[in-house]
Amino acid sequence: MTGTRVVVLGGTGFLGGHLRAAFRAEGDQVVCVSRTSPGTAAGSAASDERFLALDLLALSPHELRAHLTALDPDIMVNAAGAVWKVTEQQMHAANAELVTTLIAALRELPRRPRLIQLGSVHEYGAGTRDSGLAEDGMEAPVTPYGRSKLAASRSVLDAAGTGALDGVVLRMANIVGPGVPTGSLLGDIAAHVERYAKDPEATDAELVFPPLRAERDFVDVRDVVDAVLAAARAPRTEVSGRVINIGSGRAVPAGEVVERLLALSGLPVRLVERPADGAAFVDCQRLDVSRARRLLGWEPRRDLDTALTGLLSGLSLP
């Protein structure tokens, strides 16, 4: 893929930063599109990297098409979107409406790139221990985030199904790695650990939560990056118009993951789970990743401890 032109939308975010760095390491020409400038986190801007400051939500399809025509990408990765600290309306605009605008712009390009849409396990909704969540299974999201991401995925799949787009959806598990944002469970835990490391007297050593019983699939950000690179290289006939799950293939109770993260930190921070009233339903989200193995030649290579250690490596700890 040397010399491939890659545009990463939302390229200054957690996953976008890692993707920019990985494509550049492959020798590709990367353009980061975002409202904010690259910082010092993972994937911060290199001296020869192009950065295009755009508010994607403010652009019409015609305006976005003009920018994309000038960039003439081979690959576009949509890592833009909103998860936390926004209203439901803002979330829908950033996750679903943006993709509608993007597809309208891509349809009119003289040369259409491959669009890699980064989806979410939450598009499936609650699962059970009986079986993994497969791409041809039921989609019943239970959160506004899951519904907005599913709407975006369906837009990509519909356009690809008519031949108007070379698009693939990578439906990802909960991603763990350096720079994981606050607002997420592990991002908030990591921020607390970092505060405690800097000033134990000012930060409580106890983290109090309701029971963290939900079982979740956690995947190392480096494995996710490998999957995106594989999707960019794969033949169109293999991946266009498809959903491909990217996860560890395992479900672990969230409380166990937090306990392990705290243990690996080496700090005396403790998780305290306060009993909840009544018996709560425990859902289990475990992605079936057999399609990724078959179509991308990809499988997760890093275990949970490796992923959590990677997350801790991005913190300022003693």
φ/ψ of 219, rounded to 5, equals -130, 140
Tens digit of pLDDT for each residue in 135-191? 999 999 999 999 999 999 999 999 999 999 999 999 999 999 999 999 999 999 999
**Sign of CA pseudo-dihedral 161, 165, 168, 169:** negative
Cα–Cα distance between 105 and 127 in angstroms, integer? 35
**Max intra-chain CA distance, the chain:** 61
CATH 3.40.50.720 fits 5-176+218-248+286-301, yes or no: yes
The pLDDT of 293-302, averaged and rounded, is 98
pLDDT tens digits, residue range 81-104?
Answer: 999 889 999 999 999 999 999 999
- pTM of the predicted model as reported, rounded to 2 decimal places: 0.94
Active site residues: 145
Domain layout of the chain by residue ranges: 5-176+218-248+286-301, 185-215+251-285+309-313
Residue 302 has pLDDT above 90, yes or no: yes
pLDDT tens, 31-73? 999 988 775 444 455 556 899 999 999 999 999 999 999 999 9
- Residue 61: exposed, middle, or buried by beta-carbon count in 10 A (0-12, 13-18, 19+)? middle
What does the pLDDT read at residue 130? 74
Q: What tens digit of pLDDT does each residue of 7-37 get?
A: 999 999 999 999 999 999 999 999 999 988 7
